Structure 1
Amino acid sequence: MWNVEFYTDFSWQHKAVWQTPDTPFMQLAFWHAMTDSGAIGAEAGWLPLYAAASRAGQLVAVMPVFIKDHHQGEYVFDHAWAEAYLRYGAEYYPRLVTSVPYTPVTGQRVWLASGEVLDVALWQVLSQAIAHLAEQVSASSWHGLFVPATMRQVTKEADSDVITRLGCQFMWHNLDGDGQPFADFAGFLATLTAKRRKTIRVERDKVAKQNLVCRRKLGADITAADWQAFYQCYAMTYLVRGRQPYLTLDFFQQIAESQAAHLMLAQALDASGDIAASSLFWYDAHTLYGRYWGSLADYDSLHFELCYYQGIEFAIAQGLTRFDPGTQGEHKLIRGFAPTLTHSLHHVYDARFATPIRQFCAQEAQAVQAYYADALTALPFNADYLAKRGLG
């Protein structure tokens, strides 16, 4: 009844009518741009195999699986696991990874045909096919990164061998003290303590005093020159560390065409009117996603302005529910971004390593939960706001 076939390309795309993805990063336009520009492929170390599950001859679901021999672009760090394998003379790489490359955003990891759901039966079929693939390519393990609650629940019911790992990110929520969206940035500032409110005002003033003017452009209004300038800024964040950027200008030029309705670019112009820094965001009906930024020179507080405050203003103006500014960065906390738990799934096929890794993840989860609880107490909101929201 069930059959799973692995594709190396998108020839499966037109064999079903697909449900609308829950984030812009699972739109096939995003994946085509990644692939066409070389960000996905053997040379990038992201060798794709698309697990296509059919029931009674009808394609119902496709899950991306990458054969990887490095950990770059994943944002769930497992260096210690690789070192443990090495110490015991075992091979950790290659391993199988299901994720959106270079994108630490929680969301669905399976494309579903219209009317289908990810249930236990479907997951068991996919999981068995992945385990067989792992055996064929001598992969040590499978890793599903930044997975949503629905996928976690299904795997929990279907496969007791899957290990869950916790992480923590920071999100901004568009809710005033009465549970309504903020009317403007000033309304958001009014919910903060006087100290934190002053900090943000000082940071924004510093940007203005450096003769920098910030503006925002939606996708359709972003010009070819804007993209060229953005890429210069983006690449600079890697070049100053002696590294090459993961993504090419070609990738951004493609998504400029195929995902224009989901893009916002924040820019800082210097006294000459030249673009000094840029920050690129995606957005959908409910969430703003901060993804890439860069600056051609070092400006005091400009990162906070372009990556956080411009994003908050935009989210308020668009009536978006939340703002995901990207992974890591505890400095987000004191600027109104609340801690949020993230989850990844791991199936380690060698029992010698599965047990200690499970124990490691259980201990780590306790530490992450404690950190999450501590972070909640460090939020910058004033007592009145916390009381109204039931957080005090």
Structure 2
Amino acid sequence: MTLSLNSASSLTIPESLQSQWQILTNLSQLSPSQRKVLFAEPTCPFITFEFLDGLERHQCVGTQTGWSPCYFLYEQGQELGLFICYLKSHSYGEYVFDWSWADAYHRHGINYYPKLLSAIPFTPVPATKWLTNSTLTEQQAWQQICQITEHSGITGAHLLFPQDNFNKQADQIERQGCQFHWFNTHPETQQPYHDFEDYLASMTARKRKMIKKERLKVESAGFKCEWRRGHEISEEERALFYQFYHNTYYKRGQEGYLTRAFFDHVFDSLSDHVRLLVCQLNGRMVAGALYFIDNSHLYGRYWGREFTPRQDSESGSVEFDALHFEACYYQGIELAIEMGLSVFNPGTQGEHKIPRGFQPVITRSYHQLFLDPFHQAVEDFCLRECQHNSMYIKECETRLPFKQKEKSV
């Protein structure tokens, strides 16, 4: 069975594996019974059928976007498995940056793309990409997929943000990164926080004062923040949020990856897993922050606001700076405490999260390049990068605001 990304590239299942594996180019190719088994117990909102199918249906992924769906379906008797993959013709929207690798290929006159990528598009959240009821582990399934793609014209296979328990194979390169997550665990009692004040009480006086000052600035400016589930978001609020979402990208000279139809689809089909924080001023929505939730995690995904960066009170508008911290961090922490969630993942990067109590955590990705000289060079690079990452995380830990951490430094 062959899948073409373009006229110069195809992907073929070796004959020895054709009885077990096939390639799907969209999720609608699954039968109702297959879909029921594969998506029976998703562990987070981003690997639900609704989320992934919405990306396809509403033109967020597809050959025209450079994210060509390439799902590997495993079937052996009653055992089923689906590995979420895409053929990529660029490296946008991945959050594990390999532009320098692509440049090295191109400087040697070799195409780096297409490559095979296992990831949730535009979503740097650690999660399994292997949906299954089979005894085949994620590591075993990924190894077979690498075997399928090695001699197919694909330059390499890349698995981003897997579950923490993923164990790499000997011929795979491990790359490490860093995110900042909030944990609902008091550093002294090791129990969940009672409320936001309990959280503040775990901090040093200076950091506690900083946060209170930032929150008071938002309150004094007259901002009001209200939570909405997906089905509670009005048509006007949906339209404004989508405008604000694009504003965030426009400031960097880019366009957002996701379509308005996709957001509407998610609001409606994943309503209980969606929380939109509507930020109002004088009864008018001026900013918004979109979150997702599951049984244990809160995920901060998208933030945006109207284009009025700074005006004085005499002209009828206000300073927006502190509103970002309120909407993307403090409101999220309060919601996580209220709902008894264990972890709040606010997204990638951002050392400004450290003094607000977000702790550095290691993220991982696994790579196999099918040209040996490049594989070796990238492996050496990632080993050095890993050492740097380890030192960086230790340095970040010294800057955490908690009393217990301060005493131990």
TM-score by length of 2: 0.88
Q: For residues 145 and 252 of structure 2, what CA distance do their matches in structure 1 show?
A: 40
Provide the residue aligned with 2:294 in structure 1.
284
> Cα distance 1:193–1:223, how it changes in 2: closer, same or farther (>3 A)?
same
Provide the residue aligned with 1:294 in structure 2.
304
Q: For residues 233 and 13 of structure 1, what CA distance do their matches in structure 2 show?
A: 38
> Cα distance 1:210–1:167, how it changes in 2: closer, same or farther (>3 A)?
same
98, 110, 125: which one pairs with 1:105? 125
12, 18, 24: which one pairs with 1:7? 24
> Any conservation in 2 of the 1:185–1:316 contact (CA below 8 Å)?
yes
Write the mapping of 1:239-278 to structure 2, written as runs, cut at 5 A. Answer: 239-271=250-282, 273-278=283-288
Q: CA deviation at 1:4?
A: 1.0
| Equivalent position SS for 2:80 | strand
Question: Does 1:376 pair with 2:379?
Answer: no
How far does the alpha carbon of each residue in 1:276-299 deviate from its partner, in whole angstroms, 9 at most, with x for none? Answer: 000000001100000001010331
TM-score by length of 1: 0.92
- Which amino acid is 2:158 matched to? H
Q: For residues 86 and 300 of structure 2, what CA distance do their matches in structure 1 show?
A: 24
Write the mapping of 1:190-209 to structure 2, written as runs, cut at 5 A. Answer: 190-209=201-220
Q: CA deviation at 1:76?
A: 0.3
- Which amino acid is 2:190 matched to? G
How far does the alpha carbon of each residue in 1:147-192 deviate from its partner, in whole angstroms, 9 at most, with x for none? Answer: 1133x31x43xxx211110000000001122111111111101111
- Which amino acid is 1:12 matched to? L
Q: CA deviation at 1:142?
A: 1.0
Q: For residues 85 and 51 of structure 1, what CA distance do their matches in structure 2 show?
A: 27
Provide the residue aligned with 1:357 in structure 2.
378
- Which amino acid is 1:5 matched to? Q
| Equivalent position SS for 1:149 | coil
Provide the residue aligned with 1:167 in structure 2.
177
- Which amino acid is 1:207 matched to? V
Q: CA deviation at 1:226?
A: 1.9
300, 317, 332: which one pairs with 2:338? 317
Provide the residue aligned with 2:315 in structure 1.
none
In structure 1, stretches of 5+ residues that fail to align are: none
Q: For residues 269 and 193 of structure 1, what CA distance do their matches in structure 2 show?
A: 31
> Any conservation in 1 of the 2:126–2:164 contact (CA below 8 Å)?
no
- Which amino acid is 2:124 matched to? P
In structure 2, stretches of 5+ residues that fail to align are: 1-16, 310-319
| Equivalent position SS for 2:97 | coil
| Equivalent position SS for 1:243 | coil
> Any conservation in 1 of the 2:300–2:347 contact (CA below 8 Å)?
yes
> Cα distance 1:340–1:207, how it changes in 2: closer, same or farther (>3 A)?
same
Provide the residue aligned with 1:143 in structure 2.
158
Provide the residue aligned with 2:6 in structure 1.
none
Question: Does 1:124 pair with 2:143?
Answer: yes
Question: Does 1:76 pair with 2:135?
Answer: no
Write the mapping of 1:203-218 to structure 2, written as runs, cut at 5 A. Answer: 203-218=214-229
> Any conservation in 2 of the 1:339–1:372 contact (CA below 8 Å)?
yes
| Equivalent position SS for 2:64 | coil
Q: Which moved more, 1:214-223 or 1:273-282?
A: 214-223
Q: For residues 386 and 305 of structure 1, what CA distance do their matches in structure 2 show?
A: 24
Q: CA deviation at 1:304?
A: 0.4
Q: What is the RMSD computed on CA atoms of the aligned residues? A: 1.7
How far does the alpha carbon of each residue in 1:287-325 deviate from its partner, in whole angstroms, 9 at most, with x for none? Answer: 000000101033121110000001001001101001000
> Any conservation in 1 of the 2:146–2:157 contact (CA below 8 Å)?
no
182, 192, 212: which one pairs with 1:181? 192
> Cα distance 1:233–1:120, how it changes in 2: closer, same or farther (>3 A)?
closer
Provide the residue aligned with 2:362 in structure 1.
341
Q: CA deviation at 1:220?
A: 3.1
- Which amino acid is 2:148 matched to? A
| Identity score, percent | 36
Q: For residues 362 and 276 of structure 1, what CA distance do their matches in structure 2 show?
A: 45
